[in-house]
Amino acid sequence: MAKKSRNVTAKAAPTFAGIQHGTVNTEFNPDYSTIKTELKQIGILAAGFFAFLIVLSIVMPLIIK
């Protein structure tokens, strides 16, 4: 069997040819309007459940008597 020879080539450092400094817009400006409304809905539901538990804690002893 013949011995396989490897060609070792020097690898160049990666270049960023497609990126030009100053022309790339790196501003990150996401839209969180839907998340804000969903968080408000979650807060309202949590407050409602908490109020329901308070009402139950007051009413249950009166019913169980």
Asked whether residue 38 is assigned to any structural domain, the reply reads yes
Whole-model pTM? Answer: 0.51
Give residue 35's Cα distance to chain centre: 11
Q: Is 11 among the domain residues?
A: no
**Is 65 inside a domain boundary?**
yes
Q: Quote the number of domains for the chain.
A: 1
Residue 6 lies in a domain: no
User: Would residue 64 count as lying in a domain?
Assistant: yes
**Structural domain contains residue 56:** yes
Query: Sign of the C-alpha dihedral, residues 52, 53, 54, 58?
Result: positive
Q: pLDDT: is 53 or 19 the higher one?
A: 53
The amino acid sitting at 22 is: G
Average pLDDT, the chain: 82
Of residues 38 and 65, more confidently modeled: 38
11-14: which pairs have CB atoms within 8 A and are 24 or more residues apart?
Answer: none
37 versus 1: the higher-pLDDT residue is 37
Q: Coil, helix or strand for 52?
A: helix
Q: Within a domain: residue 63?
A: yes
Helix (H) or strand (E) holding 53: helix 33-64
In a domain, 23, yes or no: no
Domain that holds residue 55: 34-65
User: Predicted confidence band at 52 (pLDDT cuts at 50, 70, 90)?
Assistant: very high
